[in-house]
Structure 1
Amino acid sequence: MADYDLVIRGGTIFDGLGHRGEAADLAVKDGRIVAIGQIEGKGREEIEAAGRIVTPGFVDVHTHYDGQALWENRLAPSSNHGVTTAVMGNCGVGFAPCKPHQRDMLVAVMEGVEDVPEVVMTEGLPWNWETFPEYLDVLDTRELDIDIAAQLPHSALRVFVMGERAADHEPPTAEDLAQMRALTTEAIHAGALGVSTSRNLMHRTKAGELAPSLHSEEDELIALANGLRDAGDGVYQIIPRVMGPAADEFALMRRLAEASGRPLSYSLLQMPTGDPDEWRVSLDGLSAARSDGLPICAQVAPRPVGMLYGLDLSFHPFSLHPSFRPLLDRPLADKVAAMRDPAFRAQLLSERPEDSNPVSVKTVQAFRYAYPMGAAPDYEPDLADRIDTRAAALGITAEEHAYDLLLEQDGKALLYQPGANYRDGNLDAVHAMLAHPGTVVGLADGGAHYGMICDASFPTFFLKRWAADADPDQRIPIETAIAALTSEPADMVGLGDRGRLTVGAKADINIIDFAALRLHNPSVVNDLPAGGRRLRQLADGYDATIVSGVVTYRHGRHTGAVPGRLVRGARPLAA
């Protein structure tokens, strides 16, 4: 008879707490780590890990699987990159609470802010809830390849309480504020990890209307903070305004943290325009707040936060041109055939993008700052390869050059536009943000931006770029990098039972061939409800991913196991 459910033998174990790796065995029983060291007993299943690193499963605190967790049991692409717990409900958007007549409004917000096609949500969402606790009850029935945890989204809450007034620029009444406060407390008591909101003016519906949370003034944001204070638990997650004085925005976030008495997490980026030092101002404010004992933390991305253009994606340089509109929903082959017609080419090049959403127009116009993706993903492209620079060297317009590039690879070519975090053509700002003690790796956005961003690969990129390939003066020690993907984000959201390989901790584990870590190019698959399209990105180097002691992936292939469940509320530190 086996002594353990699983024994991993001979790997170099990194505990996720920042300690150096040590060769040892690790034993699992009943979903928990029960022994680490030289293990004499036998496992019902044993994995030889000599020459491999053994890490905790990665914890991704910034995803949008609010819908995907209901229509499928694999939360890819995050689960393809060692993630074993995903926190969703970020940026103030989601699907609960929601009354039946409000569903279309929440779908429109999610479609615009997170690029989830309306038809996918219409087909995939069961809508068998109204309140947030009822939504959690539905999630509680799901069997998934990773664990999930949810946050209460402000836009959905605002619509639930105020109805049409939420999107009509109307301020809340005192009764509205009291109800939002009470429902925030109710959500935390039901198992939400926190509440989330957005102040980013780029967060709009597809038609260009601002997301409901963007109509909120400070009194409403304070009402949410007070709801957390009443609950005595939860994290306040906020997307601050990205343009304007960073000092003013940080002062607001500081007031919210003081009002709630709870941790606050916000997104931090180096923006491609405006004051180049605003991110430093925010980091200075973060240092001061933490020195004063305020538990504020910034989520930072380990590479440029950009987007992809392609003929089969949500945007490309001509997607909003009048003559291309009839082709938007046509198969890729039809688009390619039309674009190879010289007359159509001349017509398309003579037009300009037109749309009611100014953000969409700006997104399309930014194509000139993009780069050809190439045979392998390059997230630090040479400035000389930028489309406008290459076009000038060729003596043609940026539009003409982009047109030709899009037709390569039978129309499957991708253009990569590194927006935030790449202002100077390097990742120096990213390194400075990652090095700050008050930051965690975040903003991967798994489950969102199906047709324009594929950043759920952040964990793989982070390990490869910063722990393996960085110059010596910027290299992050592997034990530090692993902690940044595991215990640090887990502790930030109160999930102390995971993100560490210690006796008593939840048995979420990765076995990685560190030398073989490699990202593949993103590619398009049509496997969402109603045949919807999404980007996926595969990786090499993951020998196994384990959730609650069950192997879910072997060498990147799903085993069919779905031990992942909803995590309700904060969890104490593992013994």
Structure 2
Amino acid sequence: MNTHCTHHDLIIKDVRIFDGTGEEERRGDVAVKGDRISAIGSLERSSSAAVIEGGGLALAPGFIDVHTHDDAQVLSQDPMASKITQGVTTVIVGNCGISLAPLQPDGPVPAPLNVIGDESIYQYPKFSDYIASLQSAPPAVNVAPLVGHSTLRVGAMDSLDRPATDKELDKMGACLQEALDAGAIGLSTGLYYPPARHAPATEVLQLLKLMAGTGGIYTTHMRNEDDHVEESLRESFETAASAGVPLVVSHHKCMGHKNHGLSTQTLKMFDEVRRHQTVGLDAYPYIAGSSSLLPEMVEQSTRVLVTWSQPYPEFNGWDLERIAEVLNCTIDETIERLVPAGAIYFCMSEDDVRRIITYPYTMIGSDGIPYGAHPHPRLWGTFPRVLGRYARDLELMPLETAVHKMTGLAASTFGLKDRGRIVEGAFADIVLFDADRIADTATYEEPIRPANGIELVLVNGLIALDHGTMLEACAGHVVLREK
């Protein structure tokens, strides 16, 4: 506890400090100088250029969204309101095998690469070019980038419906190595999706071996999350173990009605493998997922909402069945007419969602997709929903545990140095919120709505949100893998 007399840039007084470790809250003051936390404790004798009276509000590290598709959004000088108004100060991009670099295509990109935008935004032949663009125009939030396996495949192969040849693998490996040298924090795969569906585990393994011993992490949207989810988990565990790299299973779920309840078994698999292997997972607090509009995902869902359609923008936000009626088509014919398009898929069980989210090693990731006119509400609501609905209202976990999942656990898993904790010397990514009021307001019908209860957000010491007002600070850092 720091009590000595020091001058700071800002002191936030009288707050309930949730430090990100999962330990119980403590009452005190938090000071900031420059872009770092400079003191914590009773700071009556300290002076400051500015003082904010916390009035007993909760203070936590800025939330870390470990699973985003904000690759293009963070380049656009967008104030990132969908993140900042949730208290998110750091995003991990390049998930599900989809990264904006390294790729400069000659024509349209295949789904699901289009979930972050069309071919016009893929203008980075080297990963270092993408990093340089981020550094030249700082984003509103911190950005930690993964390189996507599907992006590598699209750049190296003339046909994606087969395994890569040795020559193509060499090209992918060279691109991956360039990305790692530029500071990419790891490799992601999207083996469920068409661009990578025909990639055998041996192809992924050969690429992962380039990361062995570097600290790079492997994240995967597994080959299957429905009828063969257990088999896909085993493949993911074995591939990462063979390469000697840490693994994160993305947005863990059990899709399809006949697989509801299977999380009791899949989480036991995580318990078993964690005894001898570094494995983590993330999840979002909704029973619906979202991605490109794909027939195979429609088949597993009880309801489908179209988020965007290039040929038929007038159907944004409509139920797929209603669109089929209007077009007088079968579902398959309707999909063919709507694509390229995106969709929301209702395919999960609330019991599974609760079980997975409360699992001790589950991080929180929104999997939000900012591209499209009618996004999934998780883009604006994920973190307040966990804190308000699941921790406070349903009492599924203590508030300090929920905060840990979205701060300290995320930072330690992804190697984000000096982030995710309220401790002297850490970067001053801070969120001040009302634990009694915090709640998501975004719905499937009205998805673009900021949460309640987020009072103040600092990114690297600069105020980005002040009582609901966005300040467009653009104080984000590019967070690269330490070499």
With the length of structure 2 as denominator, give the TM-score of the two structures.
0.86
Match of 1:234 among 216, 224, 236: 216
Mark the CA change 1:4 to 1:218 in structure 2 (over 3 Å): closer, same or farther.
same
The yes-or-no answer on 1:199 pairing with 2:191 is yes
Mark the CA change 1:318 to 1:236 in structure 2 (over 3 Å): closer, same or farther.
closer
The yes-or-no answer on 1:281 pairing with 2:265 is yes
Residue 177 of structure 1, CA deviation: 2.1
Specify the SS of the correspondent of 1:91.
coil
* Corresponding position of 2:346: 419
Match of 2:28 among 24, 27, 30: 24
Match of 1:157 among 152, 169, 174: 152
Contact 1:18 1:479 in 2 (8 A): yes
The yes-or-no answer on 1:259 pairing with 2:264 is no
Describe the superposition over 1:273-307 as per-residue Cα deviations: whole angstroms up to 9, x where unpaired. 33334433322221111012x01112122232346
Contact 2:97 2:151 in 1 (8 A): yes
Mark the CA change 1:346 to 1:225 in structure 2 (over 3 Å): closer, same or farther.
closer
Identify the range of structure 1 (252-261 vs 541-550) with the bigger mean alpha-carbon deviation.
252-261
The yes-or-no answer on 1:290 pairing with 2:274 is yes
For 1:477 and 1:464, locate their aligned partners in 2 and report how far apart those are by CA, in whole Å: 11
Q: Which amino acid aligns with 2:85?
A: N
Match of 2:451 among 517, 539, 542: 539
Describe the superposition over 1:531-570 as per-residue Cα deviations: whole angstroms up to 9, x where unpaired. xxxx522112111000111110012221131111211115
Mark the CA change 1:53 to 1:318 in structure 2 (over 3 Å): closer, same or farther.
closer
Contact 2:100 2:122 in 1 (8 A): no
Q: Any stretches of 5+ residues in structure 1 without a counterpart?
A: 204-209, 309-314, 336-343, 367-416, 526-534
Identify the range of structure 1 (258-267 vs 70-79) with the bigger mean alpha-carbon deviation.
70-79
Mark the CA change 1:27 to 1:256 in structure 2 (over 3 Å): closer, same or farther.
same
The yes-or-no answer on 1:92 pairing with 2:15 is no
For 1:299 and 1:418, locate their aligned partners in 2 and report how far apart those are by CA, in whole Å: 18
Identify the range of structure 1 (434-443 vs 42-51) with the bigger mean alpha-carbon deviation.
434-443
Specify the SS of the correspondent of 2:473.
coil
Q: Which amino acid aligns with 1:34?
A: S
Specify the SS of the correspondent of 2:245.
coil
Q: What do you get for the CA RMSD once the two structures are aligned?
A: 3.4
Specify the SS of the correspondent of 1:540.
coil
With the length of structure 1 as denominator, give the TM-score of the two structures.
0.73
Describe the superposition over 1:333-388 as per-residue Cα deviations: whole angstroms up to 9, x where unpaired. xx9xxxxxxxx999838554453757979x99x9xxxxxxxxxxxxxxxxxxxxxx
Contact 2:86 2:451 in 1 (8 A): yes
Q: Which amino acid aligns with 2:421?
A: R
The yes-or-no answer on 1:478 pairing with 2:399 is yes
Q: Percent identity of the aligned residues?
A: 27
* Corresponding position of 2:182: 190
* Corresponding position of 2:233: 250
Q: Which amino acid aligns with 2:456?
A: A
Residue 421 of structure 1, CA deviation: 3.2
The yes-or-no answer on 1:458 pairing with 2:436 is no
Contact 1:78 1:446 in 2 (8 A): no
For 2:21 and 2:52, locate their aligned partners in 1 and report how far apart those are by CA, in whole Å: 23
For 1:345 and 1:103, locate their aligned partners in 2 and report how far apart those are by CA, in whole Å: 32
Mark the CA change 1:269 to 1:109 in structure 2 (over 3 Å): closer, same or farther.
closer
Describe the superposition over 1:465-501 as per-residue Cα deviations: whole angstroms up to 9, x where unpaired. 122101xxx5311111111111111111111311100
* Corresponding position of 1:106: 109
For 1:557 and 1:524, locate their aligned partners in 2 and report how far apart those are by CA, in whole Å: 24
* Corresponding position of 2:295: none
State the number of aligned residues.
459
* Corresponding position of 2:207: 224
The yes-or-no answer on 1:469 pairing with 2:447 is no
* Corresponding position of 1:550: 462
Contact 2:80 2:141 in 1 (8 A): yes
